[in-house]
Structure 1
Amino acid sequence: MTDTSKKFRRRADARPDEVLDAALAVFVEKGFAAAKVEEVAKRAGVSKGTVYLYFPSKEALIEGIVRRAVAPIAVRALPDLEQFEGDPRLPITMLLTVLVQQLAQPDKIAVPRLILREVMSFPSIAELYRKEVLGKVMPALTGLIRRGVETGKLRKVDPDLTVRSIIGPVLAHVALAEIFGIKPEGEGLGLDGLVANHLDILFHGICAEPGEATP
């Protein structure tokens, strides 16, 4: 294969991500309803036909954006949540750490920002996020908590409600900042400090003391 052919192939392989980057920027800037595929194509530096080659609709574009955003969590955190049999604090910490790492990146925080902005007007977007993100993370996390209770590593807490207590503060923190403009002092969202504080409170609340819980 010639150098020119290799460069063309690398360029073609990168195009779906370039289109998704452009779509995310346009959706955040214009709003999902007002955004046009032509604008996405122009931002990506490709033709409208090229966009449709990879993504046949605006809905397919936002689906691709959500799936790409959750991929690192699905690859790095979900297998441990689903299979882990030891101290539940370890995979919970890893999950929230991966989540914070994602949200700390401007292009990644743009995804939940977009979802929060569009969720009331477009229920299908909420359903997509529920299926692709919450529908994968919450059952795995619930199973982890249930196993922790059964083995006596956690107190006898309700697994379903406890999952809401684990992920709720992070979601509420982002919502307070992005919807109501209530942000912590200093630069950015202060997610590292939030997670450290949250884990300290959480683990002192749900973890069994020696001799307290029995399987």
Structure 2
Amino acid sequence: MSSRHDELLDAALAEWSKVGYAEVGVKEITARASVSHGTFYNYFDNRRQLLDVLVEREVTPFLEMFDVLEREMHRPVTEESLREVITAGTAKVLNGVLARPDSISFIALEVPGIDDRALRRDIELFREAGRRAGRILDNAVADGVIDRSLNIEFAGQVWISAIFSLVVPFLADGREIGDVDRLAAEYAEIALHGVSLSN
């Protein structure tokens, strides 16, 4: 993708994070990016399409974190290796949020209220994150660490929800998350007590 394309996305994110989606149109985005209206329409049909592309760009790295964790899992899975993967995954997401607070705050707290389409997209992204997290847990089921009766899709969504609950206070009012590694390890311990381990 061209640098101009990304510059427009960055400009939109900066403006929307500062004053909100409703207050910022193509005029403000192009002014921030120092490009003409015509240049904007070379890349995007309208402001709403740019929003969809922006959300996709910002969320994809988080989804890919779970893909990498799943690919790199040591097999067969053990209770200890599962604990390590849950800890690492939780810490990676938390650190990713800390690295881009304005972006994630906008996507998590403002985008769902823009319109029904944005809300549905956010819900689908949440479910997709749960599915990808669930693949990690599915490996543990396949290797006999987690009981087969566990609803993997639901468990993956619980994992994502728990991470979200840790970051919302930070995103909403700037409260400190604290020691990310400690939080992630504590969550992994709680999560393992919440699933039916096969031992």
Q: TM-score, with normalisation over the residues of structure 2?
A: 0.79
CA distance in 2, matches of 1:56, 1:177: 34
Q: State the number of aligned residues.
A: 191
1:71 lines up with 2:64 in the alignment: no
Match for residue 8 of structure 1? none
Residue 117 of structure 2 is aligned with which of 105, 118, 124?
Answer: 124
Q: In the alignment, which residue of structure 1 is the partner of 2:103? A: 111
Out of 135, 153, 162, the position equivalent to 1:160 is 153
For residue 59 of structure 1, the aligned residue among 48, 57, 72 is: 48
Task: Give the superposed CA RMSD.
Answer: 2.8
Distance 2:141 2:132 in 1: 15
Which residue does the alignment assign to 2:183?
Answer: 194
| 1:201 CA drift (Å) | 2.0
Conservation of the 8 A alpha-carbon contact between 1:82 and 1:141:
no
* Deviation string, structure 1 residues 140-171 (Cα, Å, up to 9, x no partner): 22233234234321245332332233121221
- Cα distance in structure 2, aligned partners of 1:191 and 1:121: 33
Q: How far has the Cα of 1:16 moved from its partner?
A: 1.5
- Return 5+ residue gaps in structure 1 as ranges: 1-11
Q: Deviations over 1:71-126 (max 9, x none)?
A: 32344432543785542444433432321221111xx2223311312423422222
Cα separation, partners in 2 of 1:27 and 1:86, compared to 1, 3 Å: farther
1:34 aligns with 2:23: yes
Matched residues in 1 for 2:21 and 2:179: separation? Answer: 27
Distance in 2 (CA, whole Å) between partners of 1:163 and 1:191 is 23
Measure, in 2, the Cα distance between the counterparts of 1:79 and 1:96: 13
Opposite residue 69 of structure 1, the aligned amino acid is E
Identify the range of structure 1 (137-146 vs 59-68) with the bigger mean alpha-carbon deviation: 137-146
Matched, 1:178 2:171: yes
Bigger relative contact order, structure 1 or 2 (CA pairs below 8 A, ≥6 apart): 2
Is the contact between residue 82 and residue 143 of structure 1 (CA under 8 Å) also seen in structure 2? no
Bigger helix share: 2
Matched residue SS, 2:38: helix
> How much identity, in percent, do the aligned residues show?
22
Contact 1:148 1:154 in 2 (8 A): yes
What is the aligned partner in structure 2 of residue 101 from structure 1? Answer: 95
Q: Does 1:146 align with 2:126?
A: no
Q: What corresponds to 2:162 in structure 1?
A: 169
